[in-house]
Chain A
Amino acid sequence: MRRAALATGAVVVLGWPWAVPRYFVFLASLIVVNSIVAIGLNLLSGYTNQLSFGHAGFLAIGAYTGALLTIHVPALPVPAALLAAGLVTAAVGLVLGIPCLRLEGLYLAMATLAFGFVVVEAILNLDWITRGNDGLRVPAAHLGPIALATDTARYYLTVAVAALLVLAALNIARTRTGRALLAVRESEIAAQASGVHLAAYKTLAFVLSAFYTGVAGGLFALVVGFLSPDSFDVFLSVDFVAMIIVGGLGSVPGSVLGAAVVTTLNDSLAGFQNYRPLIFGAILIVSMLFMPGGIASALRKLAVAGAAGPPRTGPPTASL
């Protein structure tokens, strides 16, 4: 059953550009990019209970790094540019993660919120390289001799990168690091008592999260083709938080579903003009009321009810 579902999923994902109008290929690329951010944010929030309202800032760093490399080093293959985008962003995540260790809950949210604004200001002030508010046009990236100039090419690039990152995220939970992170989430005191170095693992979560978001940023630059500080406002960070809450905290499939729902909603509500934020907010509230554990846990409950087996217990992360 599970294998069949996976096979269907793979066929749909790979066949998508041939089955749907061009616009939905672009939209799907955006969903995939947002999924990577949501997984990254979930590594931080779902695993170690640290909520960030500054992920638009990480996305911006990755996006500008990737874009500037594509512009100034056109010979660089895309994977290298994306890796660089991830590493630069991870380095920033490390620098931000260390002071944030002392902060929790609301204070951490405020610090990360401020980080988002700082990044936008930095982009504005580094206008000799970022072109500030004029915005940066991102040319087509190259993979060997092939220019990724079409929506379909860019879609397959995002899917390939996302597949790697999803696999990695799914497997983190099975590693020593992943277990340590989960232990931190369940109880910091208990984790510490069991010999988990709290500061090191919390910082690691920040770095991992930033890396994912940075890679997503590099893809974002290629998919959208234009960057400006206005792309990375605070509402984008809030959208990312909404994705993991709607999808399910601590769940990789949930992150992907959440990203798909929020991105599609944002897109399909654009026609409601001034009512867009209102309708968007209302849908979020309703979905949180009726699916408190997110889509992932709601689906799990449905599956359990359908199989009429004994209800599974334990935290919703059991399927990670």
Chain B
Amino acid sequence: MMIRAALLLVLALIPPALPASAQPPGVSDKEILIGGSNSFSGPLAFTGEQITKFGVDLYFKVVNDAGGIHGRTIRTIFYDDGYRPQDAVANTKKLVEQDKIFAVIIPQGSPPVMATLAYLEENKVPLLFPYQSSPETRRKRYVFQGMTVSDRSSKMMIDYLAGQRKLKKFAALYQDDEYGKSFLTAFEKDLGRFGLKLVAAESVKRGVTDVSAQIAKLHAAKPEVTFLVLVPGPGAQALIERQKIGWTDTLMVSTGPLTDERYLALAGDAAEGVEGLSLWPDPLLSDLAGVKRYREHMQKYFPKNGPNRYSIAGYFAAMLFTEGAKRAGRNLTRESLIAALESIKGYESGILPPLTIDADHETQKRGLWVRVEKGRFKPLTDWLKSE
């Protein structure tokens, strides 16, 4: 008796078969639903919130207020993974299977993104513009990489410093993880093209901020250029330590992911004269049309939130999605979106240089050289190339 009751209960829980619909998951007559797993707690919580709520959602507010894309408004769902891969997997499965999103947009961090990569490919869900720098996302049909990947950054940095500026002695202070190591490998390879080698390389464990021993060792190797492949905390500490021991005859250079305002603020006057590869124009001061519009939109919708390069990254991702969905037309499917994104050639965003998406599916391949002057990044070059 009890068993039969239990069976009936189980049967009652089985959802009735749904009628087959012509539209893909996440797309209805009125709406497009996209989303992603991101960091709202954990080490990258600030970045995650800026990218999503103040970046992606900011741009979609603008689009929706102007009538949406081909009559559909865009709605987003973001779940917190706290930078834990297993939570990213759970969130992504929930987004795809329960919420039935159309595509994943700008998830953050190599481990969480890598954990979901195979699943998304298997289920043919577009993974759009992940905010991480590992080149493993390259040339995958359903993936369009966001942030400039490490080997491209390295190429731009070495070509500029060893090629144009004829510098010869390079050293690196790198974070002892995949971010640091992938840059180190790329530096060695690119220096090799100029017949050069790193004269010294010192590692910093993740989460450690005291870098005095490493700076002393690098100082002894007398490099002309010292690359900082770090995150803002230890990056700023390296500059302060360098100033403390009076080491002036080296050029400190930050990588793309490090060249941000937080690193500058933490280093204070120790950052003066430091150079780096910047992946974005200055979000606060640039007078590029797209960046100005971004600041106006931020002022209009989130007047309390200052412009920064994380929210502009999310804003740009949403802009690129919108461009793809517009090109795909009213008959929006996952395949038509991919075809539409692949058709983007010489697209003017007003933020980054004209954008062309090739078979490698990378959407950001360029950076510009900056030097810190009076506490701001001043551009020294036009956009560098990594082809």
Contacts and interface: CB of A to CB of B under 8 A. Distances in A.
Whether A associates with B in a native complex is: yes
Interface of A: 4, 7-8, 11-12, 15, 18-23, 26-27, 30, 121, 124, 132-135, 137, 220, 224-228, 230-231, 233, 235-236, 266-267, 269-274, 276-277
Contacts of B40: 273-274, 276
B10 A11 contact: yes
Contact of B85 (A8, A18, A135): A135
Given A15-B10, A133-B110, A224 B89 contact: yes
Interface string B166-207: 000000000011110000000000000000000000000110
B382 interface: no
Contacts of B77: 271
Interface stretch (B1-9, B249-257, B336-344): B1-9
Given A21-B98, A23-B97, A267-B90, A230 B6 contact: no
B89 A225 contact: yes
A116 B5 CA distance: 46
What DSSP secondary structure best describes chain B's contact surface?
A: helix
A19 B10 contact: yes
Nearest to A133: B177
Interface of B: 2-3, 5-7, 9-11, 13-15, 37, 40-42, 45, 49, 53, 77-87, 89-91, 93-94, 97-98, 110-112, 114-116, 118-119, 134, 176-179, 205-206
Nearest to B116: A226
B293 to A, nearest CB: 26
A7 B6 contact: yes
B78 A228 contact: no
Given A137-B118, A226-B85, 6 more contacts: A18-B14, A27-B90, A121-B205, A226-B118, A230-B84, A274-B45
Given A26-B93, A228-B111, A267-B90, A20 B13 contact: yes
A224 B86 contact: yes
B178 A134 contact: yes
A287 B2 CA distance: 31
B89 A274 contact: no
Given A228-B111, A273-B78, A233 B84 contact: yes
B80 A273 contact: yes
B50 to A, nearest CB: 12
A137 to B, nearest CB: 7
Nearest to A137: B118
B85 A21 contact: no
A228 B3 contact: no
A135 B111 contact: yes
A63 to B, nearest CB: 10
B115 A23 contact: no
Given A135-B115, A277-B41, A272 B85 contact: no
Contacts of A266: 87
Contact of A274 (B49, B93, B179): B49
Contacts of B112: 230
Nearest to A15: B10
Contacts of B93: 22-23, 26
Contacts of A233: 42, 84
A42 B83 CA distance: 27
Contact of A270 (B15, B49, B79, B115): B79
A301 B223 CA distance: 72
A138 B40 CA distance: 27
A133 B79 CA distance: 23
Nearest to A266: B87
B335 to A, nearest CB: 22
Contacts of B3: 4, 7-8, 11
Nearest to A270: B79
B87 A132 contact: no
Contacts of A124: 176-177, 205-206
23 contacts: A7-B2, A8-B3, A11-B7, A19-B10, A19-B13, A20-B13, A21-B97, A124-B206, A133-B178, A133-B206, A134-B110, A135-B115, A137-B114, A226-B86, A226-B114, A226-B118, A228-B114, A272-B80, A273-B49, A273-B78, A273-B79, A276-B41, A276-B82
Contacts of B7: 11, 15
Contacts of A8: 2-3, 5-6, 9
A162 B13 CA distance: 24
Nearest to A63: B86
A182 to B, nearest CB: 33
Contact of B111 (A133, A220, A272, A274): A133
A260 to B, nearest CB: 14
Which one of B7, B11, B111, B119 has the highest number of Cβ atoms from chain A below 10 Å of its Cβ?
B111
Nearest to B91: A270
A224 B90 CA distance: 8
B177 A132 contact: yes
Contacts of B114: 134-135, 137, 226, 228
B199 to A, nearest CB: 24
A225 B118 contact: yes
A213 B2 CA distance: 34
A4 B5 CA distance: 10
A8 B13 CA distance: 14
Contacts of A235: 82
A180 to B, nearest CB: 36
Nearest to B41: A277
Contacts of B13: 19-20
A305 B114 CA distance: 51
B207 to A, nearest CB: 10
Contacts of A133: 110-111, 177-179, 206
B2, B110, B119 — most chain A CB neighbours (10 Å):
B2
A7 B2 CA distance: 8
A261 to B, nearest CB: 16
B10 A132 contact: no
B7 to A, nearest CB: 6
A34 to B, nearest CB: 11
Q: 9 tightest A-B contacts by CB? A: A4-B2, A226-B115, A270-B79, A133-B177, A273-B40, A23-B97, A228-B111, A8-B6, A133-B178
Contacts of A21: 15, 97-98
Nearest to B37: A270
Given A19-B10, A27-B90, A267-B90, A230 B49 contact: no
